[in-house]
Amino acid sequence: MRSLNSILELSVVELDGLIATARDIIAHPENYWDKCAHRKLATLFFEPSTRTRLSFEAAMLELGGSVIGFSEASSSSAAKGESVADTARMVSCYADIIAMRHPREGAPYVASRAATVPVINAGDGGHNHPTQTLADLLTISREMGRLDNLTIGLCGDLKYGRTVHSLIEAMSRYKGIRFVLISPQELRIPGFIRYNVFENQGIPYTEVSSLEEAMPELDVLYMTRIQRERFDDPWEYERLKDSYVLDTEKMKLAKEKMCVLHPLPRVNEISVGVDNDPRAAYFRQALNGKYMRMALILMLLEEARQDPEKEAIDTEGLEYDRVCRNPKCISQVEQELPQLFRCTDRAADIHRCIYCEQRA
């Protein structure tokens, strides 16, 4: 049995397999109508969501299954002080699979260690969002006809934008990918992506601040919202919130064959005038998310049926004698959770928290 915490837990072969299943669901939905009959998905959303929660629910319903759950922490026992681990363990008694969104980084991972059913990370703080990446991959594949040899521009809040982190991790494993990172200085990509992906793997990237200058070379433009809820200082958000606005004038600088993605919700960063441009793929991307979540639910439930045993933790290089300094990490609040670090670079003496991946 496997959970999904990070997109890196899926190999490229598995990603391609999920895309193939999603395409088959699109072509023959009737073949999938009762694949999950009598199975239940629990959606545990401790943070607001429209698309992710509804697309998980629609995915399970279209597979013939049912859905239970809650959409805000205040209506769950978290409001009484229940730990994430206890919630996950208890919900495993009622559901066959769990999708969890949480403001604390690493919370779904903690849930997956305690649950006896697969747990899917539906977004953890500013860390990861692997199922949005599944939607992004199917969209790029359908819009561009390929997932390799692409120049991908990521624009906006690259620091707190969890969808950006998971998308970079996924795309860096395809051939001929180059990234153009477009952001204000204050919202540049965090260390766990910068070192793990770009520097360690030698993936080509440039960091710029002008969207106009980057535009002509891009095959994919991934716009993001400035993540107001993750800022400690509200004035910093006010100063940065309108850093980038994609409008019809800027679209004139783009290649004829390119696509614009956005995980949504948008605030100001794409003007509605762009919506009618055939290159605007963000609403199609939301639909693709449902098909990929269907494919993922099918895969994880089938794996759990064949092998109900949980994967053992890889203890190689684990260390206990440090303290995580990330105030948003689940290890700061979860009852009796051991502080655990993995050495990711011996030579440079880099240790990362196993929950949030921040450096000790």
Q: How far is the CB of 225 from ligand NCD (least distance, A)?
A: 4
How many C-beta atoms surround the C-beta of residue 316 within 10 A?
Answer: 7
Cβ contacts of residue 202 below 8 Å, gap of 6+? none
Nearest to 204, CA basis, from 129, 151, 260: 151
Q: Is the peptide bond before 278 cis (omega within 30 degrees of 0)?
A: no
In the chain, where does DSSP find H-type helix? 12-27, 51-62, 84-91, 107-114, 130-144, 162-171, 191-193, 200-201, 211-214, 234-240, 248-251, 282-306
- Residue 7 Cβ vs ligand NCD, minimum distance, rounded to whole Å: 13
What minimum distance in Å lies between the beta carbon of 229 and ligand NCD? 9
d(CA 354, CA 274): 41
Q: What is the largest CA-CA distance in the chain?
A: 55
46 vs 341 by CB, closer to ligand NCD: 46
Q: Give the separation between CA 322 and CA 329, rounded to whole angstroms.
A: 14
CA distance 168 to 95: 32
Residues 28-57 that bind ligand NCD (CB under 6 A): 51-52
* Residue labelled with tokens 């997956």: 112
- Of the pair 165, 351, the CB lying nearest ligand NCD is at 165
Report in angstroms how near the CB of residue 52 gets to ligand NCD at its nearest.
4
- Main-chain phi, psi angles of 352, to 5 degrees: -120, 140
- Residues 301-340 vs ligand NCD: string with x where CB under 6 A? ----------------------------------------
We find the least distance from the C-beta atom of residue 351 to ligand NCD, in angstroms, to be 27
Q: Are 70 and 57 in contact (CB under 8 A)?
A: no
Cβ–Cβ under 8 Å, residues 353 and 329: yes
Q: Which of residues 61-120 bind ligand NCD (CB under 6 A)?
A: none
Q: State in angstroms the smallest separation of the CB of 212 from ligand NCD.
A: 23
Among 65, 69, 106, 123, binds ligand NCD (CB under 6 A): 123
Site for ligand NCD in 209-228 (CB under 6 A): 225
Q: What character string, x for contact with ligand NCD (CB under 6 A) and - otherwise, covers 129-168?
A: x--x-----------------------------xx-----
The contact mask relative to ligand NCD for 258-277 (x = CB under 6 A, - = no) is -----xx-------------
- Find out whether 112 and 119 touch, Cβ atoms under 8 Å: yes
CB-wise, 290 or 352, nearer to ligand NCD?
Answer: 290
Q: State how far the Cα of 223 lies from the Cα of 269, in Å rounded to an integer.
A: 7
As measured in angstroms, the least distance from the Cβ of 103 to ligand NCD is: 11
Query: Is 121 a binder of ligand NCD (CB under 6 A)?
Result: no
Task: Provide the binding-site residues for ligand NCD, judged by CB under 6 A.
Answer: 51-52, 123, 129, 132, 162-163, 225, 263-264
